[in-house]
Amino acid sequence: MMIKVISYIYMPLFLLKRFVFGSKIYSAIVINCYKLLGANIDDKVTFQYGALLSGCKNITIKNGTFIGRGVSITAYKEKVIIGSNCLIAADVKIISRSHNYMKMYNNVPILEQGYSHKEVLVGNNV
């Protein structure tokens, strides 16, 4: 009985992973969700499974760009703009913020030194 229940749950997930994740269907679903959250994503952009966008209103991705598995793009206060025809490999992190860093002789822990925000621009055909 338990094996039947597991197979009823596992088989649809296996089929979903096999035929949808990494496909154009999956990519279209993900892109439309991010567009609803405010991201500016052009046509012919491909997202692989596990790619994440945070701060969607400040993110622009142009035509023909491929976003690999596990990529994380985070735009805090400044924009992240990715040009057209870019290939972003798996597990890349693009973040528009960094920790400020002063030498430790000031005895100020890095967590208390604040952040700096800058726009990130990835050009075309990168």
**Amino acid letter at 78?**
E
pLDDT tens figures, 109-123: 777 788 888 999 999
Q: Is 5 exposed, middle or buried (0-12, 13-18, 19+ CB in 10 A)?
A: exposed
pLDDT tens figures, 8-29: 444 454 555 555 555 677 788 8
Q: Helix, strand or coil for residue 104? A: helix
Q: Within 10 Å of residue 63's Cβ, how many Cβ atoms?
A: 14
Encode burial over 21-55: b for 16+ CB neighbours within 10 A, e otherwise. ebeeebbeebbeebeeeebebeeebbbbebbebeb
pLDDT tens figures, 35-82: 999 999 998 999 888 899 999 999 999 999 999 999 999 999 999 999
Residue 33 has pLDDT above 60, yes or no: yes
Instruction: Using a cut of 0.85, tell me whether the model's pTM lies above it.
Output: no
pLDDT tens figures, 96-107: 988 777 666 567
